[in-house]
Each structure stands twice: as structure tokens, then as C-alpha cells.
Structure 1
Amino acid sequence: MEIGKVPNDLLEKLVFENIKNKREEVIVHAGVGKDCSVIDFGEYSCVVSTDPITGATHNIGSLAINISCNDVAASGAEPIGVLMTILAPANTTEKDLEQIMKDAGKASEKLNVEIVGGHTEITDAVNRVVITTTVIGKQLKERVITMENIKVGDKILITKSAGIEGTSIIANELEDRLKNKLSEELIREAQALGDNISVVKEGMICASIGVNYMHDITEGGVLGAIWEASEAIGKGVKVKRELIPIKQSTNEICSIFNINPLRLISSGSMLIIASDKNSELILKELRKENIQVTIIGEVTEEDIIIEEDGQGVTIDPPQSDELYKVI
């Protein structure tokens, strides 16, 4: 099997088909394109999500906190607590562990989420540090985002730009290989993209306005997220290639390594589906907060299409992320 997330067809066949037991307290069950599970806790719902960090070594404590909080924010919920499991190889030093936790602590303070527990272990089962975080969020049950109101013509938006996380990882992990090919300014721009990895703020703002769907753009990049969104909502989508924002540093790094920026992991960018009216409000409110947001397409009856130079091309299901061709 390829490195990276298991392809969605295999997820359906090997994973989801074997989840037989269902509880009536579960409002949102596991499925493709769903970042979180939602559990009924009376007046409130409990929103939970889990994610690993496997493709980076730089600043992984901060990444671990942010990526899971992003998933909870995609449900419009406020992250409350984080459980953090660290599996580290035998050559890990005390200083390494301390740095991971310092970074995680700073990220959790910034997001006002508490690290409430977890597990830390040195093991020969891994050859580099692997961190898994599980985030617990809280949300009024009446404000749980459902896909029932999605209609043909609803707008598709993304925040920030494509390939944020992947660009930052490559620029930090492979800086020496970039020095003779990219300007110092662009290398620093690329590395700094890691500071914009959180989508919690836009998630909270969009939830307060009213959206029909949100999805944190992670492995598989923008195109992978669009495909997963179509699967989740049970409708088609059409986006325009020229409308998808991509930083110059992302474009140039992807050109150097011959990878597709639209298939590059992009934590830090949120995919949003909202009505015409609410889309305009989202544009207005996010821009007030200096958060870049762009309408890139709309919901259709069927098919998953990206339009480029007037030609429509079917978007294929996500496979192994472009990052793994480089790192």
C-alpha cells in the first residue's frame, strides 16, 4: 500500500463496513469527508476528532495541537481539551521531548485549549516521533452543522491558500536543498506559513453566521478535500482552477519538486459550503479579521469537476499526498 492516508475506497471497504454497532446518542457517525464525530450530551453536543503527525519533524508539538483543533472547528465547535499520545524512538533525548511539549503548550495556550492527558512512550516500534492528538469540543446541540440544507448553487469557499502545511514542512525540513533554487525571502515566506496552520478562528466565525458544511483541508490537498466534500454531501461540485489561491512560495517549491500544489496537504485552509447570502457575510466578516477567503465554485447536481481554460476535468479521488514524494 502507498504511504499516507488509506484511499477512500479502501476506507469504505476495510474500515467503515466493519463499524457495525451504532448508538442513538451519536449524531454524526464516521464517514468520508467528515472531520468529527458528534455525540448528544443533552443541551450540548460533544464533538471529537483524532489525528496523527507523521510527515514532519519540525515544530510537531504545535502541529499536533492545531490539526486536531482544526477538525473540531470544522464542525463549528469550540475546542476544550486535548489528549496527546507521543511515541518516540530510542534516540530521543529529554531535550527533544521538552521542546515538543513547549511547542504544544504554546499552541494550546494560543487556542485556549487544555492538554488534559495522554501517553508518552519511548519505543522501537517507530523510527521517528509520532504524535496523535484527540480533541474534545463543545457545541450547543441546536447549532450542530448538518448537510440537510445544502442546495444546488450553494457557494464553495476556501480560506487562505492551497498547500499551506505541505509548503511549510518542505521549507523547514529541506531548507538546504532549496537555498540554491529559491530566494531567501521566499524560503522564509514558506516556512512562516506554519504560523497560519489554525482554522479555529474562521470555523467559529463561519459557524456563527451559518454554514452547511466545513472541512479542514489536510492530506490530499484542496482537490482531495473537494472530492471528499462531494462524497459527504451527496451532490456534485464544480470549481475553477484560476480562482484557487496559491502562494508564490508554494508554486515555486512545488515546481522544484515536481508536485501538484492542489494535492499537497493544506492544514490551515478551510473548505466551506454556504448559501449565497451567508457566503457574502462570510467574505465580509473573515476579511474584517484579515483572513483571506475566496469563492472558488458551487454545488451542482452531480459530478466533481475542476474547470481550467474553459475545459471541465473530473477530479479523481485523493491518493497518497504529494508531500510523501518529497519527505
Structure 2
Amino acid sequence: MEIGKVPHDVLKNIVFDKLKFFNPDVTIRPGIGEDCAVLNCGEQLVVLSCDPITGALNEVGRLAVHVSCNDIAASGVRPLGLLVSILLPAGSTESDLEKIMTEIAETATAIGVSVIGGHTEVTDAVTRIVINTTAIGLSKQKTICSAGAKPGDKLIVTKTVGLEGTAIIANENEAALKKQFGDGFVSDAKACLNQISVLEEGIIAGKLGPDIVHAMHDITEGGIFGAAWELAEASGTGVNIFLEKIPIAPVTKTLCDYYKINPCRLISSGSMMMATTNPELLIQKLSEKGIPAAVVGEMTSNPQERFIFKTGCKHDSEKSILKQPQPDELYKLP
């Protein structure tokens, strides 16, 4: 298999299809596009999600906090606790661990999440730092899932796509990019890391509730194209994506052009995808909190029809098929 996420058909046939038993109090279970589990604990719902950081060498502590907490936010719930597992390769130093833990502690504090436990070890089973985090949230109301999108829903994306990928590329290739584009450009690209939390947009959608925001999905590995396919697959719908409507920051476009990669298939933590019956209200609520958002597509009834249109018009003849997610563009970099 290729580096990156296991292909969805393999995931379904080899992983999900083997899971035969679920306690009835497990209200959201594993599935394509679903990043969270939800447990019914009587008066409260417990929302859980776990994610590893494997595609970055720098700022791994910050990224590790955000990736799992963003998944909780995609349920419309604020995360409250985080379990952290850190695997350090042989030869790691105490300074390496201190840097990681400083990043984790500062990031968790900034978003109001408590680190409540985990595991730390040095092992020759890994060749570079691997951090896995499990985030936990509580809710007294129905959560939003990835599988709730309905035909006719408008598809909204917050901020700009490729934020996480832009920051990772700039951090990993800082010296070469400074020679090519200058210090200011690299500083702007690295600063994209400051935007990769989607807690605010998730909480806004949660307050509107699943009657208005039918589904949400944190745009991560595979980019906006991967997230749109996963949302449609989870919901059993089709989808139309309008390429010219997708917000891409100039710094992201420049980097992607330079490395000849597609920003729409680049890891995009920091951008939330939302399927809604009332896009005007949702965009207004987001705007009130200073969060830009744009309508980039719509859900359709036929799950066999998932398209990318070049313009904002579904009658445009220039369209291509939105395929099952491929390995992220990040893995194409030398």
C-alpha cells in the first residue's frame, strides 16, 4: 500500500467489516468519513476522537493537539480533555521531549483543553517522533456527524484550504524557500499554523444545531476534495464542487505552484466543511466571529454522481469526477 491513509475500500473491507459487535450506547460508530465516536452516558454524550501526527517534523506538539480537538469540534462540541501518547526514536534527547511538551502544553492551554494522561517512551520501533492524541468532549444535546448531509444542502468551507500543508511545507523547507521567496513569504506561510484550530466554527455550528447544520467534516489529509468525497460517502449522497469558489490563500497557491502540487488535495486542518440548509445564516454567524466562509458546492441525490466543476455553475461542461481520496499531496514533496 502507498504511504498515507489506507484506501477507503481497503479500510471498509479489512477493518470496518470485521467489527461485528457494538454496545447499543455507542450512538456513532466507525465509518468512512466519521472521525468521532459518540457514547450515550445517560444525561450526557461523550465524544471521542484520536489522530496521529506522522507527516511533519516541526511543530508536532502543536499539530498533535489541534488534529484531535478539531475532530471533536466537527461534532459541534467543545473538547475538554486530551490523552497524549509520545513515541520518541532512539537517540532522542530530553531537549526534544521538552520542546514537544512545551508546544503541547501551550497549545492546549490556549484552546482551553486539559491534558489528562497518556504515555511517553523512547523506542527503536519508530525512526522519527510519532504523537497520537485522543480528545474527549461532553455534550447534553444531539451532536453533528459527517453522515447527516442531505440532497440540496449547500457545502460551506471556512477560512482557506491548505493551511496545515502550507505551514508544514514552510517549516520543513524554510532555508530553501527563503532563498526562493524571501523571509517575509516564509514567515507568512509558517503563520498559517496559527489558523488551524476549527473550535470556534465547530461551536458556532453546534449552537445552530443539526437541524440547520446537517453535517460537518474537518478537512485534513486528502484536502478539500478528499473531505467532500468522504462527506458524500458517509451521507450516501452525491456532491458537486465548484473549483473557482474554493478559497485559496495567495501564499498557499504560490507554494503549490512551486512544488507542482494541488492545493485542493493538500492537508487542510484549519478549514471546516459544513453541509447546511441555511448557508446565509451560518455564514453570518461565522462572520460575526471573524471567520470567513464560502459556499463551494452542494449535495445531490445520486451517490454515483460526484463531480468537480471548473466554474460555479453545475451546467458547465468542464467537469471531472471527484474520485476516492488519494495519498495527500504532502507526500509528493522530496
Please tell me the TM-score bracket, short chain as reference: over 0.9
Residue pairs, 1:275-286, within 5 angstroms: 275-276=277-278, 279-286=279-286
The residue that corresponds to 2:208 in the other structure is 209
State the secondary structure of the residue aligned to 1:179.
Answer: helix
The C-alpha deviation readout for 1:110-133, integer Å capped at 9, x for no partner, is 111110000000000111100000
Query: Counterparts of 1:44 and 1:77 in 2: how far apart (Å)?
Result: 12
Query: Counterparts of 1:204 and 1:71 in 2: how far apart (Å)?
Result: 12
- Conserved in 1, the CA contact under 8 Å of 2:148 and 2:215? no
The C-alpha deviation readout for 1:257-302, integer Å capped at 9, x for no partner, is 11111000001110000103xx212111111111111111111112
Residues 315 and 149 of structure 1: CA distance in aligned 2, closer, same or farther (over 3 Å): closer
Query: Counterparts of 1:325 and 1:147 in 2: how far apart (Å)?
Result: 28
Residues 30 and 148 of structure 1: CA distance in aligned 2, closer, same or farther (over 3 Å): closer
State the secondary structure of the residue aligned to 1:87.
Answer: strand
The residue that corresponds to 2:163 in the other structure is 164
Q: Percent identity?
A: 46
The residue that corresponds to 2:128 in the other structure is 128
The residue that corresponds to 2:95 in the other structure is 95
State the secondary structure of the residue aligned to 1:2.
Answer: coil
The residue that corresponds to 2:116 in the other structure is 116
Residues 47 and 258 of structure 1: CA distance in aligned 2, closer, same or farther (over 3 Å): same
Residue pairs, 1:60-75, within 5 angstroms: 60-75=60-75
Deviation at 1:146, TM superposition (A): 5.3
The C-alpha deviation readout for 1:157-185, integer Å capped at 9, x for no partner, is 01111111011000011112212322433
Query: Counterparts of 1:93 and 1:248 in 2: how far apart (Å)?
Result: 38
Residue pairs, 1:10-159, within 5 angstroms: 10-140=10-140, 142-145=141-144, 150-159=149-158
Deviation at 1:21, TM superposition (A): 1.2
| 63-72 vs 298-307, greater mean Cα deviation | 298-307
- Conserved in 2, the CA contact under 8 Å of 1:89 and 1:126? yes
1:271 to 268, 273, 284: 273
The C-alpha deviation readout for 1:201-240, integer Å capped at 9, x for no partner, is 1100111113110000010000000000000111111121
State the secondary structure of the residue aligned to 2:139.
Answer: strand
Deviation at 1:320, TM superposition (A): 0.9
Deviation at 1:62, TM superposition (A): 1.0
The residue that corresponds to 2:332 in the other structure is 325
Query: Counterparts of 1:120 and 1:178 in 2: how far apart (Å)?
Result: 34
Residue pairs, 1:198-277, within 5 angstroms: 198-210=197-209, 211-276=213-278
| 302-311 vs 215-224, greater mean Cα deviation | 302-311
Aligned residue type for 1:319: Q
Query: Counterparts of 2:196 and 2:57 in 1: how far apart (Å)?
Result: 15
Aligned residue type for 1:257: Y
Deviation at 1:151, TM superposition (A): 3.1
- Conserved in 2, the CA contact under 8 Å of 1:78 and 1:137? yes
- Conserved in 2, the CA contact under 8 Å of 1:80 and 1:114? yes
- Conserved in 1, the CA contact under 8 Å of 2:34 and 2:145? no
- Conserved in 1, the CA contact under 8 Å of 2:145 and 2:216? no
The C-alpha deviation readout for 1:46-96, integer Å capped at 9, x for no partner, is 000000000112111111011100000001112011100000011211111
State the secondary structure of the residue aligned to 1:10.
Answer: helix
* Structure 1 unaligned residues grouped into runs of 5+: none
- Conserved in 2, the CA contact under 8 Å of 1:69 and 1:200? yes
Deviation at 1:149, TM superposition (A): 6.3
- Conserved in 2, the CA contact under 8 Å of 1:32 and 1:232? yes
Query: Counterparts of 2:179 and 2:323 in 1: how far apart (Å)?
Result: 35
Deviation at 1:312, TM superposition (A): 2.0
Residues 147 and 87 of structure 1: CA distance in aligned 2, closer, same or farther (over 3 Å): closer
The residue that corresponds to 2:294 in the other structure is 294
Query: Counterparts of 2:147 and 2:2 in 1: how far apart (Å)?
Result: 35
Aligned residue type for 1:158: V
Deviation at 1:197, TM superposition (A): 0.9
Query: Counterparts of 1:191 and 1:147 in 2: how far apart (Å)?
Result: 30
State the secondary structure of the residue aligned to 1:162.
Answer: coil
Residues 149 and 165 of structure 1: CA distance in aligned 2, closer, same or farther (over 3 Å): closer
| 306-315 vs 122-131, greater mean Cα deviation | 306-315
Query: Counterparts of 1:122 and 1:15 in 2: how far apart (Å)?
Result: 29
* RMSD of aligned Cα (Å): 1.3
Scaled by the length of structure 1, the TM-score of the pair is 0.96
Query: Counterparts of 2:69 and 2:169 in 1: how far apart (Å)?
Result: 22
Query: Counterparts of 2:200 and 2:116 in 1: how far apart (Å)?
Result: 22
Aligned residue type for 1:230: A
- Conserved in 2, the CA contact under 8 Å of 1:209 and 1:281? no
Aligned residue type for 1:188: S
1:306 to 298, 305, 308: 308
Deviation at 1:135, TM superposition (A): 0.6
Aligned residue type for 1:312: K
